[in-house]
Amino acid sequence: MAAQTRYVCNEHIVDMRYIGVKKMMIYAGDKFGAINRLLRTRRVVPAFLAANVLLLLWACCMPSAQAQLSVAVTEAKLESGYEVERVYGGEVRAGRTSTLGFRHAGEVHRIHVQEGDTVAAGALLAELDPEPLRAAREQAVAGLRHAQAQLQVAEAAVELARETTRRHRDLLEKGHTSAQRFDEVRLDLAAREAQVNVAQAERARAEAGLRVADVDLERSRLLAPYPARIQTRHADEGAMLVPGQAVLRIVEEGRREARIGVPVDVAGTLETGARYAFRNGEQRLEGTLLQLLPEVDPRTRTLTALFDLPATESAPPAGSLIELTLTRRIADAGFWLPLAALSEAQRGLWSVFVVVADGNEDRVERRLVEVLHNAENRVFVRGTLADGDAVVATGTQRIVPGQLVVAGAGR
The pLDDT assigned to 63 comes to 45
Q: Are residues 339 and 307 in the same domain?
A: no
Q: β-pairing, 350-358 with 361-375? A: antiparallel
Number of domains within the chain: 4
The answer to whether residue 190 is domain-embedded is: yes
Question: 149 and 195 in one domain?
Answer: yes
Structure confidence by residue, pLDDT tens digits, 356-366 = 988 888 999 99
- Give pLDDT, residue 66: 43
Burial (CB count <10 Å: 0-12, 13-18, 19+), residue 26? exposed
Residue 28, pLDDT score: 45
* pLDDT greater than 60 at residue 43: no
Q: Are residues 312 and 348 in the same domain?
A: no
**Are residues 49 and 4 in contact, defined by beta-carbon separation less than 8 angstroms?**
no
pLDDT surpassing 70 at residue 19 = no
Task: Report the Cα–Cα distance between both ends of the chain, in Å, rounded.
Answer: 57
Instruction: Look over the chain and give the mean of its residue pLDDT values, rounded to a whole number.
Output: 83
What's CA 263's distance to the chain center, in Å?
A: 12
Longest dimension (CA), the chain: 187
Q: Give the 3-state secondary structure of residue 196.
A: helix
CA–CA gap between residue 277 and residue 295 (Å, rounded): 24
**289-332: per-residue pLDDT in tens?**
999 999 999 998 999 999 999 877 778 888 899 999 998 888 89
Together in a domain, 294 and 362: no
Task: Look at residue 215 and tell me if it is in a domain.
Answer: yes
How far apart, in whole angstroms, are the C-alpha atoms of residue 184 and residue 21?
A: 143
At residue 37, the pLDDT reads 53
Q: Is 176 exposed, middle or buried (0-12, 13-18, 19+ CB in 10 A)?
A: exposed
pLDDT reported for residue 11? 35
Burial class (CB in 10 A: 0-12, 13-18, 19+), 23: exposed
Distance CA 165, CA 187 (A): 9
For residue 89, being part of any structural domain is answered with: no
Domain carrying residue 380: 69-81+332-407
What distance lies between CA 23 and its chain's CA centroid? Answer: 60
Q: What is the mean pLDDT of residues 20-49?
A: 46
Q: What is the torsion angle, in degrees rounded to the nearest 10, for the CA atoms of residue 5, residue 7, residue 13 and residue 14?
A: -150
312 phi, psi to nearest 5 deg: -125, 170
For the purposes of burial, counting CB atoms within 10 Å of the CB of 141, is it exposed (0-12), middle (13-18) or buried (19 or more)?
middle
Same-domain pairing of 269 and 212: no
Q: Is 72 helix (H, G, I), strand (E, B) or coil?
A: coil
Does 236 map to a domain? no
HSE value, Cβ hemisphere, 13 Å, CA-based, for 35: 29
Rounded Cα gap, residues 223 and 101, in angstroms: 10
Q: Based on the fold, state whether residues 326 and 379 are members of the same structural domain.
A: no
Predicted confidence (pLDDT) at residue 33 exceeds the cutoff of 60: no
Q: Roughly what angle, to the nearest 10 degrees, separates helices 179-219 and 131-174? A: 170
Local confidence band at 179 (pLDDT 50, 70, 90 cut-offs): confident
Q: Domain holding 324: CATH number?
A: 2.40.30
pLDDT digits (tens, 9 = 90+) for 192-230: 889 999 999 999 999 999 999 999 899 899 999 999 999
Q: Same structural domain for residues 325 and 362?
A: no
Show which of 309, 330, 351 is a domain's final residue.
330
Q: What pLDDT is recorded for position 204?
A: 94
pLDDT at residue 16 tops 70? no
pLDDT for 54 equals 52
Q: Report the distance separating Cα 164 and Cα 184, nearest Å.
A: 11
Output the CA torsion 215→217→219→221 (10° steps): -150
Q: 351-399: per-residue pLDDT in tens?
A: 999 999 888 889 999 999 999 998 888 999 999 899 999 999 998 888 8
> DSSP of 383-399, one letter per residue?
ES--TT-EEE-S-GGG-
CATH at residue 339: 2.40.420.20
Q: Name, in order, each residue with C-beta under 8 angstroms of 169's C-beta and a sequence gap of 6 or more.
A: 182
179, part of any domain? yes
Q: What does the pLDDT look like over 101-130, one tens digit per residue?
A: 998 899 999 999 999 999 999 999 999 999
